[in-house]
Amino acid sequence: MALKLGDTAPDFHAETTDGPIDFHEWKKGSWAMLFSHPADYTPVCTTELGTTARLNDDFIERGVKTIAISVDPIEDHRGWAPDIGDVGGTDLNFPIIADPDRTISEAYDMIHPGEGDSSSVRSVFIIDPDNKVRLTLTYPKSVGRNFEELLRVVDAIQLTDLVPVATPADWKPGEKVIVSPTLSTDQARERFGDVKEIKPYLRYTAAPTP
């Protein structure tokens, strides 16, 4: 059964390019981005992991540990790592999980039926420090992911966890946010100061500091 938002992310033991890990212990106290790729030594995957390596410091600044997974063996991951650095311009700086028996991929519903093989699709899970799934995305194998968008989503989730606001369409950090319907306009003005009412249910304010 597919994982839903709010579910506890399954724990697992795995071999990675950084050595063996127990997932919940490895990410203890941190957010995590667990993302699958179909296969090593493939073009789209190489660009994706290269981009993640380049952006990894940005994820770390947000308290997010990044970790990739595919059904390839650990030897292939290690052999492929130099290509990731060559293509992306940054050496591999996060672990890749080896899942040759597909135990983890199946627990996270990463195997796409009807694709003619048993490799994992491009799934992404953002998991919070309490091990709760906060975001799920699945892309087809032919479409590379936008990792800048994943950083944006992390910013939005972390902000809205701490302050009673929501983010509008296409929001970027620093832009105005939407006041939560749980606050009246008067309560919102008392808390945030300037509040612009577009509709009684749609009020904008400057992005507050958590």
* Contact of 82 with 76, CB cutoff 8 Å: no
Return per-residue pLDDT of the chain as tens, 210 residues.
689 999 999 999 999 999 999 999 999 999 999 999 989 999 999 999 999 999 999 999 999 999 999 999 999 999 999 999 999 999 999 999 999 999 999 999 888 666 555 566 789 999 999 999 999 999 888 899 999 999 999 999 999 999 999 999 999 999 999 999 999 999 999 999 999 999 999 999 998 775
Do residues 134 and 157 make contact, with C-beta atoms less than 8 angstroms apart? yes
Choose, from 32, 33, 45, 104, the residue flagged as catalytic.
45
Q: How far apart are CA 111 and CA 109, in angstroms?
A: 6
- Edge-first strand listing for the sheet containing 31-36: 21-22, 13-16, 96-98, 64-70, 31-36, 122-127, 133-139
| Helix 43-61 × helix 147-162 angle, to 10° | 30
Residue with token string 């306009």: 185
- Name the CATH architecture for the domain at 163-205: 2-Layer Sandwich (3.30)
- Residue 24 CA to residue 46 CA, distance in Å, equals 27
Place of tokens 């009020």: 203
Element (H, E) at 13: strand 13-16
Q: Which residues pair with 69 in a beta bridge?
A: 36, 97
Q: Which residues pair with 179 in a beta bridge?
A: 165
User: Has this prediction a pTM greater than 0.75?
Assistant: yes
- Does the annotation mark 45 as catalytic? yes
Residue extents of the structural domains in the chain: 13-147, 163-205
Q: Tell me whether domains 13-147 and 163-205 share a fold.
A: no
CB–CB of 12/104 below 8 Å?
Answer: yes
Assigned superfamily of 13-147 = Glutaredoxin (3.40.30.10)
